[in-house]
């Protein structure tokens, strides 16, 4: 199992768009995919309801406000997180994450949020130990622009891989409105977007290769939830015998 989280402390960074596309790519590759929506806006949940039955199947898994445990019956899990995602929900998620993808635009506000998010992620125990990879992808950025080059330089200074930039294109809104992604949208316009996702796909395949044999053990049953043992006739009789007679 591979658990992939999409995290950025700032809203409007493209987390839901990136999460839905990651889930679609995973589903085309392997049908046992779960898309967890932790965002109160339920953007990816709305997208899943629009998804045609003929498309690669993605199972939704909505959580009210927190994350406790990934579904154990999934091949891959993609998690869309809300803005300002931190505290205990963040810490619980990072106990299981194999990879975190940080989408970001390039405004001064986005760059500040990116730096804060990266610093938070780099302090996570699984990231420190090398069990969780962190990378960044640009959103609504022209891949050939100076902004993309400057973002790559910034991320190099932060020691975070830059997977390329995804430009603004009408095809993304057209796909999402139909419950689709550019990976399963049958048009030449959508296929023209494939080169912009090449870095993300290569990175994903690396994550999948490392997590091939990983399994999530189910949570242990607590003693309180264990069924009580019914007393036998012999044990009941022994308890009624005075103690001095049993010495």
Question: Does any domain span residue 238?
Answer: no
Question: Does any domain span residue 233?
Answer: no
Question: Does any domain span residue 190?
Answer: yes
Q: What is the CATH number of the domain that holds 118?
A: 3.40.50.300
Q: Which domain holds residue 197?
A: 2-220
Question: Does any domain span residue 206?
Answer: yes
pLDDT value of position 167: 96
Q: What is the pTM of this model?
A: 0.84
- Reference 75, options 200, 179, 208; nearest CA is 208
pLDDT value of position 171: 95
CB contact at 8 A, 44 and 37: yes
Once rounded to an integer, what is the mean pLDDT over residues 195-207?
A: 97
Question: Does any domain span residue 54?
Answer: yes
Question: Does any domain span residue 70?
Answer: yes
pLDDT value of position 224: 46
d(CA 245, CA 247): 6
Rounded to 5 degrees, what are φ and ψ at 8?
-160, 130
pLDDT tens digit sequence for 80-127? 999 999 898 899 999 999 999 999 999 999 999 999 999 999 999 999
pLDDT tens digit sequence for 24-76? 999 999 889 999 999 888 899 999 999 999 999 999 986 655 567 777 888 89
Question: Does any domain span residue 40?
Answer: yes
Which structure tokens are listed for 92? 């619980």
Question: Does any domain span residue 240?
Answer: no
Overall number of domains in the chain: 1
Own/partner pairs for 123-128, CB < 8 Å, 24+ apart? 124/94, 124/97, 125/94, 126/94, 126/95, 126/97, 127/94, 127/100
d(CA 238, CA 118): 65
d(CA 21, CA 57): 13
On the question of pLDDT at 227 being above 50, the answer is: no
């Amino acid at each position: 199992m591979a658990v992939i989280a999409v995290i950025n402390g700032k809203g409007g960074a493209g987390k839901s768009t990136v999460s839905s596309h990651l889930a679609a790519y995973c589903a085309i590759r392997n049908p046992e995919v779960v898309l967890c929506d932790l965002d109160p806006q339920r953007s990816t949940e709305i997208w899943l309801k629009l998804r045609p039955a003929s498309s690669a199947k993605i199972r939704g898994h909505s959580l009210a406000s927190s994350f406790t445990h990934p579904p154990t019956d999934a091949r891959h899990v993609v998690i869309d997180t809300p803005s300002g995602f931190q505290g205990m929900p963040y810490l619980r998620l990072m106990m299981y994450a194999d990879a975190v993808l940080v989408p970001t635009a390039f405004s001064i506000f986005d760059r500040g949020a990116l730096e804060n998010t990266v610093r938070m992620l780099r302090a996570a125990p699984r990231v420190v130990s090398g069990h969780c990879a962190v990378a960044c992808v640009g959103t609504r950025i022209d891949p050939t622009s100076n902004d993309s080059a400057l973002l790559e330089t910034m991320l190099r200074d932060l020691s975070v891989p830059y997977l390329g930039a995804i430009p603004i294109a009408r095809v993304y809104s057209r796909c999402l409105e139909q419950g689709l992604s550019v990976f399963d949208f049958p048009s030449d316009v959508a296929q023209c977007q494939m080169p912009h996702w090449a870095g993300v796909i290569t990175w994903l395949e690396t994550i999948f290769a490392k997590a091939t044999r990983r399994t999530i053990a189910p949570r242990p049953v607590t003693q309180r939830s264990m069924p009580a043992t019914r007393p036998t006739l012999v044990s009941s009789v022994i308890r009624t015998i005075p103690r001095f007679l049993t010495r």
